[in-house]
Amino acid sequence: MKKWLLLCAAVVVSTSCSKSDAPPEPDEILGTFVIVSDTYSFYIDYGADSGVIGVMLERPEEPPVYFPFYCSTYRGIPDVRIDVWVNAAEDQIWVRSSWEGYEDLAFHRVGSDLCITSYGENGPILVPTPQSFGSGVGAKQPALPEFHVKNVLAVTHTN
């Protein structure tokens, strides 16, 4: 009986340890699109007292990385519309997020590890929610061209 209890305890400990070693995943996926072999998913991740909207980038044979572009200091996320455009060569992406009284444009070059947002030039992180927000180096966001782009995704999040 003692051996059985010891075995059960070992299984419980190993199972709980393996769950904590799993990479974090966002709480909600709003929409996904693929360019070449890269998959881009827009996500929401909730913390104890925060909410983050961002893009998860998945490349073949690599772990996912995250580019957060909006952070709320309370657990909720306001109603938001996200529109995504790519150029004809499919090597540049623009993301416009709009909610009441606010609009933001982010830019990413396919194959790059940088995203330019209103918070500056940011590299990817390995978790959906950053420890701090807005530490990027200031950079001018490229404007969304008025032609030669196609809309590849339009999603709306409502509470």
- Residue 10 included in any domain: no
Which residues, given as ranges, of the chain have pLDDT below 70? 1-21, 133-142, 147
- Residue 12 included in any domain: no
Give the domain extent around 143: 24-157
Q: What is the pLDDT of residue 60?
A: 93
Residue 98 CB-density burial (10 A; 0-12 exposed, 13-18 middle, 19+ buried): middle
- Residue 106 included in any domain: yes
Listed as own residue / partner, the contacts of 115-119 with beta carbons closer than 8 Å and 24 or more positions apart are: 115/55, 115/67, 115/69, 116/140, 116/141, 116/142, 117/67, 117/69, 117/141, 118/69, 119/69
Q: What is the pLDDT of residue 1?
A: 45
d(CA 154, CA 159): 17
Q: How many domains does the chain have?
A: 1
> What is the tens place of the pLDDT at every residue in 112-126?
989 888 778 888 999
- Residue 14 included in any domain: no
- Residue 146 included in any domain: yes
Beta strands in 49-91, from DSSP E residues, in sequence order: 51-58, 65-72, 80-87
Q: What is the pTM of this model?
A: 0.77
